[in-house]
Chains A and B, each alone.
Chain A
Amino acid sequence: MKVVVMGCGRLGARVASVLDANGHDVSVIDTQSRAFRRLAPEFGGQTIIGTAIDEDTLKAAGIESAGAFVAATNGDNRNIMASQVCLKIFKVPRVVCRIYDPVREETYRRLGLSTVCPTTLISAQILDQVLSPADGTGRAED
């Protein structure tokens, strides 16, 4: 499957590298060429410098034939806008959007975006570990 990933930070680079290793055809977009150093050394996909809120950049990344789009930059609003461009203009079948702000995440989930909110996911995991009974080793129980 053709997948376009926007944002080559830790998350975007990992998602892109894993998809590539699994045989998918991956294009990664970032505004800075330096960011691509985070990709796995054996990464064989395409890298594109630009911003995915620009339709031309998305076309260069092959969005028109993509089966999925992942928005993983640090900017919630940029992720939201790029995801909506992919859904409404390019009709990409699967669009996943990272949103840090839980309230904004809920708003856009209700509007039909597939969203992932690291803040709620990670805080739930941390709370789980903090609140589990201590056994004196300093480590959370399994």
Chain B
Amino acid sequence: MYIIVVGGGKVGFYLTKSLLSEGHEVLLIERDSIKVENYVEQLGAVVVDGDGSEAATLGNAGAARADVVIAVTGEDEDNLVIAQVAKKRFNVPKTIARVNNPKNERLFRMLGIDVTVSQTNYIFNLIEQSIPNMSFVHLLSLSHEAMTIVDAKIGAESRAANKPVSALGLPEDCILAAVIRGSDLMIPKPDTVLLPGDDVIALSHRRSEASLQAVLGS
């Protein structure tokens, strides 16, 4: 695959390195010519100097034959324009943009960016998952913006504790996908009884997340 990475901060540099080691053809575009010289010494002639939001730079970089363009600068507005120019001018099949302000994820999707990556959200979710007191954790938003995966920990006080799945009164547009009990993974059936300490993984429509939390949370 031919992949163009725009933005040579730490994310862009290590991303380029990993993609190269997986055998992809990669080009990194960075504005700061001193950084570029440094990177060329470390990575070889796969780094060029330029403004990736300029169509001419992307054109010279061979965007027209690129399979993926990844915009990972520190500025959301730059990442948006890089990905849009790649998509609209060069018909790049897949564009990925880093989002620094999590609120911009929705906007980027509305504006045609295929995949958004929000470090802020990732770190926030990791923190949520590693704090044991959080009984209901949003694990992942999928490419369809309405679909979410959540992890609910059943507490002793939880209304769902010691009840079979069929008696929970789950909201309509959600399903319980898995129950993790100690080291066992179970796929719940209607008669599976939830016990305190269970981790329940559910797939849900975003609009039902709150009612699901009311049923499963403590």
Residue numbers of A with Cβ under 8 A of B are: 53-55, 75-78, 80-82, 84-85, 88-89, 101, 103-104, 107, 110-111
CB of B54 within 8 A of CB of A101, answer yes
Q: Mark B160-173, 1 if CB is under 8 A from A, else 0.
A: 00000000000000
Verify A104–B85 contact, CB threshold 8 A: yes
B38 an interface residue at 8 Å Cβ cutoff?
Answer: no
Report 14 cross-chain contacts, Cβ distance below 8 Å, ordered by A residue.
Answer: A53-B76, A77-B78, A78-B77, A81-B81, A82-B77, A88-B107, A88-B111, A89-B110, A103-B55, A104-B55, A107-B85, A110-B88, A111-B84, A111-B88
Residue interface mask B65-87, A partner, CB < 8 A = 1: 00000000001111011001100
B55–A80 contact, CB under 8 A? no
Task: Give the complex CA separation of A90 and B78 in angstroms.
Answer: 21
Give bound CA distance, A65 to B80, whole Å: 26
* Known interface pairs A54-B101, A107-B84; 13 further A-B residue pairs with C-beta atoms within 8 A, sorted by A's residue number: A53-B77, A54-B103, A76-B81, A77-B77, A77-B80, A80-B80, A81-B80, A84-B107, A89-B110, A103-B55, A104-B55, A107-B85, A111-B88
- Decide: A88 and B110 in contact? CB cutoff 8 A: yes
Nearest CB of A to B60, in Å:
12
Name the distance in Å between B80's Cβ and chain A's nearest Cβ. 5
Chain B residues within 8 Å of chain A by Cβ, number? 20
- Is A84's CB under 8 angstroms from B111's CB? yes
With both chains docked as a complex, state the minimum distance between the C-beta of B54 and any C-beta of chain A, in angstroms. Answer: 6
Is there an interface contact between A89 and B54, defined as CB atoms closer than 8 Å? no
Q: Is the beta-carbon distance between A85 and B54 smaller than 8 angstroms?
A: no
Q: Which residue of A lies closest to B55 (CB)?
A: A103
B140 interfacial contact with A, CB 8 Å: no
Interfacial chain A residues near B95, Cβ < 8 Å = none
> Any chain A CB within 8 A of the CB of B53?
yes
Contact: A107 with B89, CB < 8 Å? yes
Measured CA separation A103–B63 after assembly (Å): 15
Cβ B88 vs Cβ A81 within 8 A = no
Contact bitstring B118-130, A, C-beta under 8 A = 1, else 0: 0000000000000
Assess whether A107 is in contact with B55, with CB atoms less than 8 Å apart.
yes
Contact of A75 among B56, B77, B89, B101 (CB under 8 A): B77
Distance of B50 from chain A, by nearest CB (Å): 13
The residue on B at minimum CB distance from A111 is: B88
User: Are A81 and B77 CB-contacts (below 8 A) given A55-B103, A104-B54, A111-B88?
Assistant: yes
Among all A-B residue pairs, the 10 with the closest Cβ atoms: A81-B77, A77-B77, A77-B81, A103-B55, A78-B77, A77-B78, A81-B80, A80-B81, A107-B89, A77-B53
| Interface residue ranges of B14-57 to A (CB < 8 Å) | 53-56
* Of B77, B78, B84, B110, most A-chain CB atoms within 10 Å: B77
In the assembled complex, the Cα of A77 lies from the Cα of B56 at a distance in Å of: 15
**Cβ of B31 to closest chain A Cβ, rounded Å:** 12
Nearest residue, chain A, Cβ from B75: A77
What's the least CB distance linking A29 to chain B, in Å? 14
Task: Point out the residues of chain B lying under 8 angstroms from A78, CB to CB.
Answer: 77
Q: How far is the CB of B118 from chain A (nearest CB, A)?
A: 15
Bound: A89/B56 CA distance, A = 30
- Expressed in whole angstroms, the minimum distance between the Cβ of B100 and any Cβ of chain A is 11
Asked if residues A81 and B85 are in contact (CB atoms below 8 Å), the reply is no
- B76 contacts A81, C-beta separation under 8 Å: yes
